[in-house]
Amino acid sequence: MMEMQEYGDTSSRIVLIQMADDHDLEGIEREIAAIRAINDAGFLLRVFRVNRWNEDLSPWNAPAVFGKDDFGSGAENTLAEVLKSCEDRSRHYIIGGYSLAGLFALWSAYQTDVFEGAAAASPSVWFPGFTDYMRTHEIRTERVYLSLGDKEAKTRNPVMAAVANRIQEAEGLIRCQNRRCTLEWNPGNHFKEPELRMAKGFSWILRQLLQS
């Protein structure tokens, strides 16, 4: 079982869902403040603490591309846990995440129509086989926000260096399925202002949802 924490208006019909590790949790209050500074929509943020990052958020097994930890295939079980918190269908659920959690958010939008939007900030779309998966499956949400730092591809790791090409490919694949999709380029590398990048992603989805 994953630990879940709630922030914001518990009675809100708009529920933001985010997977996070301990580092992400340290910046959650800054992220919430940034979302509120960008728009005045009320929301409830549900944050699920991920214990085994590479295992719990990966859609399938893959060899390590940095460090020593291989990627597992725990995303299906993680999503099943998340969906238990989304049973009130009178609410609007938006899933989002940063880095590998952003990849998980994007992958989740292919598995279920529960989410009315997916905010993938600096997602790990370099993940082996992921854009091939996107090419052969239909995304089941209507709104997708993608972002990347303009220096993220400047790495000696050949797999991760493809991230800029992969995210542009991902945007094109989503648009080809007639979904609302935007790709925002942020200044800096992967580690710059993650809270602000997440806030911008959730805020874009919120605006799209409220305008529909």
pLDDT-derived band at 118 (thresholds 50, 70, 90) equals very high
Q: What was the pLDDT predicted at 130?
A: 97
Average of pLDDT values for 74-78?
97
pLDDT-derived band at 17 (thresholds 50, 70, 90) equals very high
Q: What number does CATH give the domain 4-211?
A: 3.40.50.1820
Q: Is the pLDDT of residue 1 over 80?
A: no
Q: What was the pLDDT predicted at 199?
A: 98
- Per the DSSP assignment, residues forming a β-bridge with 44 are 8, 15
Helices (H), 43-148: 53-56, 75-83, 100-111, 130-136
Q: How far is CA 62 from the centre of its chain?
A: 19
Helices 28-38, 194-211: crossing angle, 10 deg rounding? 40
Q: Are 120 and 96 in contact (CB under 8 A)?
A: yes
Strands 3-8 and 44-49, sheet pairing: antiparallel
Q: What was the pLDDT predicted at 124?
A: 97
Query: In this predicted model, what pLDDT tens digit does every residue of 80-114 receive, in sequence order?
Result: 999 999 999 999 999 999 999 999 999 999 999 99
Average of pLDDT values for 116-124?
98
Q: What was the pLDDT predicted at 41?
A: 87
Query: In this predicted model, what pLDDT tens digit does every residue of 36-64 receive, in sequence order?
Result: 999 888 999 999 999 999 999 999 999 98
Ordered by start, the domain boundaries in the chain are 4-211
Nearest to 210 by CA among 51, 59, 12, 68: 12
As a whole number of angstroms, the distance between CA 171 and CA 185 comes to 12
Query: In this predicted model, what pLDDT tens digit does every residue of 164-211 receive, in sequence order?
Result: 999 999 999 999 999 999 999 999 999 899 999 999 999 999 999 988
With a CB cutoff of 8 Å and minimum separation 6, the contacts of 196 are 30, 31, 34
Q: What was the pLDDT predicted at 161?
A: 92
Q: What was the pLDDT predicted at 67?
A: 77
pLDDT-derived band at 68 (thresholds 50, 70, 90) equals confident
Nearest to 174 by CA among 208, 146, 147: 146
pTM: predicted TM-score of the whole model, two decimal places: 0.97
Q: What was the pLDDT predicted at 65?
A: 86
Q: What was the pLDDT predicted at 69?
A: 87
Enter the tokens of residue 100. 């590998």
Average of pLDDT values for 8-21?
96
Query: In this predicted model, what pLDDT tens digit does every residue of 125-160 receive, in sequence order?
Result: 999 999 999 999 999 999 999 999 999 999 988 889
